[in-house]
């Protein structure tokens, strides 16, 4: 694409507001900036779109939203009149312009004769997944950039099962978008006119109650929570986002009496003024929560990201400080607790099954198998776990009680097909209360699990590669690791090389090649002679390569030494 030609096309378009026109005029003498905004469109994938909010083809703005929605509308219309009647559910988070983008998407859907159910205001991502299923919609749209910095926004698309779009539909939209002119080929209907015509319906408290009823049905042990309710204290932060309403409500319905919400972070604000990054994976964002927890004598802190699909926790240690529990470890705690709690409640199904991603700790598999459960791997992304869950349950081959990925995403129940911080916060709190009844914190519980199942350790390294040059660098790194794979890493031999792109595994000792169940994703895995796995993949949502080291040792110190050893190899990839 000729980026200067595209730039001039945008400048000449009457669709631009005076402010947008001025923004583009201001970069006229900056060819690198023009190229970064116009070298090509944002790539539409199974996660939809995500980018910084500027005027330009490679950015998030109302024109790109309308263009993407027109492509999506054409795919929905291909399902026939029934698909248009079933329509779409639309949701948005707290980010700047999220409501504007959501309404613009609604206007395009209505302009294409597609019925819209749009939430009256921001809602958690899992509630959008629930609404698609509850109202038998053909599809869903969620305007969110999850935990990205404030400059970003995004556009996630869902299909009728409530999961993010399967690859075949994403490919169909991408093909259609290549044919659509971003200004000429968009059909819209003014929002108020669409409401009056019955094409737009607004969702509110009634949907919240339906969703919460399903969430509360996941509770296993009200009785133990009641026993500790007078002494158990919890601090919660929504990081200025969509968890602010439903998560505290769910915890109150659980029976939590001493719930302290971080007041500064209960304020809805897309600029996230109290944190550098609204990401529960970053412990520094919890500083206000930690101060309150120390002052109030709480043992447990919860934090959900801005669209409330992911949740992180911190717990008090014996020295009175607060410790981060990683996503891998939180999932292991939850899985072990759920198995026991469901057994005690008589709710554990036959053929109980757990799902995790290929980059998630192998400790989860150990917990599942020791307790008689099946455990299956999927690619990163809850659409793949949703697909696996449906496949297993339709075939009667397993009933999935828990699905998770290392980046703080957890899915339970049958009413959502995406990460769900609302339900996860509820069960994490139930679990913390259950251990509190035994005089233990979750830090104590985790140590007991290491003693029982083995000392596992994991670390994710992020090789950030921003901008157009970064895209080239990421592609080059993956190419070089494929074409000249390491024979050893940090002095340890690579025993098996796995390439999930073509689904092949190579035994390095014999050269024997075999096929794997999973294929079609740009991921490389090196299985080491000492049992460690090193996994390399480009992020699907951010400009970085992620390197995962999954290891274990005879004790905690041994496992930590393994992480440090392999981390030195990761450092060489940055050069």
- Given this model, what pLDDT does residue 446 score? 97
Residues 353-392 have pLDDT tens digits of: 999 999 999 999 999 999 999 999 999 989 999 999 999 9
How distant, in Å, are the alpha carbons of 15, 472, 493, 543 from that of 462? 39, 16, 23, 10
Residue 523 CA to residue 500 CA, distance in Å, equals 5
Residue 64 DSSP code: H
Determine the Cα–Cα distance for residues 489 and 287; give it in Å rounded to an integer: 37
> In this model, does residue 542 exceed pLDDT 90?
no
Residues 244 and 262: their CA atoms lie apart, in Å, by 10
Structure-token match 């019955």, residue found = 198
Work out the number of other CB atoms within 10 angstroms of the CB of residue 299.
23
* The predicted structure's pLDDT at residue 45: 78
Calculate mean pLDDT across residues 74-86: 96
* CA dihedral (557, 558, 564, 570) positive or negative: negative
Tens digits of residue pLDDT in 124-148? 999 999 999 999 999 999 999 998 8
Q: Are strands 300-304 and 233-237 parallel, antiparallel or unpaired?
A: parallel
Rounded Cα distance between 39 and 3, Å, is 5
- List the structure tokens of 197: 């015509």
State how far the Cα of 433 lies from the Cα of 428, in Å rounded to an integer.
9
Predicted local distance difference test score (pLDDT) of residue 72: 96
146-176 confidence digits (pLDDT tens): 988 999 999 999 999 999 998 888 889 999 9
Question: Averaged over 28-38, what is the pLDDT?
Answer: 96
What pLDDT is recorded for position 46?
Answer: 73
Yes or no: say if 526 and 533 are a contact pair by the CB < 8 Å rule.
yes
CA distance 97 to 20: 14
Question: Is position 36 annotated as part of the catalytic site?
Answer: no
Q: 558-568 burial, b for 16+ CB within 10 Å, e for fewer? A: ebeebbebbee
pLDDT band (50, 70, 90) for residue 43: confident
| DSSP H or E stretch at residue 476 | helix 467-483
pLDDT of residue 575: 63
Does position 541 have pLDDT exceeding 90, yes or no?
Answer: no
The predicted model gives 503-508 an average pLDDT of 96
**537, pLDDT greater than 90:** yes
Distance CA 39, CA 61 (A): 16
Q: Is the pLDDT of residue 288 over 70?
A: yes
What distance, in Å, lies between the first and last C-alpha atoms of the chain?
Answer: 30
Model confidence pLDDT, tens digit, residues 188-216 = 999 999 999 999 999 999 999 999 999 99
pLDDT at 69: 97
Whether pLDDT at 536 is above 90 = yes
Q: Which among 146, 326, 403, 490 is annotated as catalytic?
A: 146
Element (H or E) spanning 322, and its range?
strand 322-325
Asked whether the predicted pLDDT for residue 540 surpasses 80, the reply is no
Q: Distances from the Cα of 281 to the Cαs of 300, 313, 326, in angstroms?
A: 16, 9, 8
Note the residue count of the chain: 575
Residue 561 has what pLDDT?
96
Query: Higher confidence at residue 543 or residue 279?
Result: 279
Nearest CA to 318 among 440, 486, 194, 174? 440
C-beta neighbour count of 244 within 10 angstroms: 23
> What's the mean pLDDT when you consider all of the chain?
96
Q: What is the mean pLDDT of residues 337-341?
A: 98
Burial class (CB in 10 A: 0-12, 13-18, 19+), 124: buried
The β-bridge relationship of strands 139-143 and 544-553 is unpaired
**pLDDT-derived band at 543, boundaries 50, 70, 90:** confident
The predicted structure's pLDDT at residue 470: 84
DSSP class of residue 351 equals T
pLDDT-wise least confident of 293-307, 344-358, 528-542 = 528-542
CA distance 521 to 380: 9
Tell whether the model's pLDDT for residue 574 goes beyond 80.
no
What pLDDT digit, counting tens, does each position of 86-96 carry? Answer: 999 999 999 99
Q: What is the mean pLDDT of residues 547-563?
A: 96
Instruction: Tell me the whole-structure pTM to 2 decimals.
Output: 0.95
**Domains, the chain:** 41-203 (3.40.120.10), 212-453 (3.40.120.10), 455-573 (3.30.310.50)
Structure tokens at 480: 């070089």
Average pLDDT over residues 319-342: 97
Eight-state DSSP code of residue 529: T
Interval 445-467 mean pLDDT: 94
Strands (E) in 385-519, as ranges, are 399-405, 409-411, 455-464, 488-489, 492-499, 504-507, 513-515
Is the pLDDT reported for residue 116 higher than 80? yes
Range scoring the smallest mean pLDDT among 43-52, 77-86, 118-127: 43-52
Strands (DSSP E) found in 373-454? 374-378, 399-405, 409-411
Q: What is the largest CA-CA distance in the chain?
A: 70
User: What's the mean pLDDT in 280-307?
Assistant: 96
Long-range contacts (CB closer than 8 Å, 24 or more residues apart) made by 14-18: 15/63, 15/183, 16/55, 16/63
Distance CA 501, CA 429 (A): 39
Which pLDDT belongs to residue 531?
94
Half-sphere exposure of 481 (CA within 13 A, CB side): 29
Q: How far, in Å, CA of 377 to CA of 521, rounded?
A: 14
pLDDT of residue 243: 98
């Amino acid at each position: 694409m000729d980026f200067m030609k595209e730039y001039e096309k945008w400048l000449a378009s009457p669709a631009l507001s005076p402010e947008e026109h001025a923004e583009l005029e201001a970069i006229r003498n900056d060819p690198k900036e023009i190229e970064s905004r116009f070298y090509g469109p944002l790539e539409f994938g199974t996660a939809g779109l995500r980018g910084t909010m500027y005027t330009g083809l490679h950015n998030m703005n109302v024109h790109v939203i309308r263009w993407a929605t027109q492509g999506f509308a054409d795919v929905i219309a291909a399902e026939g009149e029934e698909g248009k009647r079933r329509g779409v559910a639309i949701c948005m988070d707290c980010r700047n312009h999220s409501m504007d983008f959501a309404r613009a998407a609604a206007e395009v859907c209505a302009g294409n004769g597609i019925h819209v159910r749009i939430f009256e205001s921001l809602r958690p991502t899992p509630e959008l997944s629930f609404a698609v299923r509850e109202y038998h919609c053909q599809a869903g749209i969620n305007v969110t950039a999850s935990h990205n910095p404030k400059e970003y926004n995004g556009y996630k698309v869902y299909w009728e099962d409530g999961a993010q779009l399967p690859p075949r539909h994403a490919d169909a939209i991408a093909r259609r978008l290549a044919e659509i002119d971003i200004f000429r080929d968009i059909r819209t209907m003014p929002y108020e006119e669409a409401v009056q015509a019955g094409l737009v319906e607004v969702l509110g408290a009634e949907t919240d109650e339906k969703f919460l009823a399903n969430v509360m049905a996941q509770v296993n042990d009200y009785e133990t929570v009641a026993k500790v309710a007078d002494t158990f204290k919890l601090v919660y932060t929504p990081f200025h986002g969509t968890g602010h309403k439903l998560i505290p409500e769910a915890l109150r319905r659980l029976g939590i009496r001493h719930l302290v919400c971080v007041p500064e972070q209960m304020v809805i604000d897309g600029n996230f003024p109290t944190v550098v990054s609204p990401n529960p994976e970053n412990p520094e964002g919890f500083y206000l929560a930690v101060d309150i927890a120390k002052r109030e004598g709480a043992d447990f802190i919860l934090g959900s990201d801005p669209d409330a699909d992911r949740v992180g926790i911190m717990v008090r240690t014996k020295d009175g400080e607060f410790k981060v529990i990683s996503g891998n470890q939180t999932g292991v705690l939850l899985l072990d607790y759920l198995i026991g709690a469901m057994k005690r409640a008589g709710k554990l199904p036959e053929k109980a099954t757990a799902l995790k991603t290929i980059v998630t700790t192998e400790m989860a598999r150990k917990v599942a198998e020791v307790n008689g459960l099946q455990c299956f791997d999927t690619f990163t992304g809850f659409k793949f776990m949703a697909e696996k869950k449906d496949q297993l349950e339709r075939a009667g081959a397993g009933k999935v009680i828990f699905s998770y990925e290392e980046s703080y995403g957890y899915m339970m129940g049958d009413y959502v097909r995406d990460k769900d911080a609302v339900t996860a916060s509820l069960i994490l709190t139930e679990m913390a209360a259950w251990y509190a009844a035994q005089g233990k914190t979750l830090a104590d519980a985790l140590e007991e699990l290491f003693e029982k199942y083995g000392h596992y350790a994991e670390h994710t390294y992020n090789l950030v590669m921003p901008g157009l040059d970064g895209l080239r660098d990421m592609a080059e790194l993956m190419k070089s690791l494929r074409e000249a794979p390491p024979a050893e890493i940090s002095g340890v031999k690579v025993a098996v090389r796995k390439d999930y792109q073509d689904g092949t595994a190579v035994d390095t000792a014999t050269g024997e090649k075999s096929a794997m169940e999973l294929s079609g994703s740009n991921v490389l895995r090196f299985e080491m002679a000492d049992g460690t796995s090193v996994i390399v993949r480009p992020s699907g949502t951010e400009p970085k390569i992620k390197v995962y080291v999954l290891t274990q040792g005879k004790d905690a110190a041994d496992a930590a030494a393994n992480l440090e050893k392999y981390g030195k190899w990761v450092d060489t990839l940055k050069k």
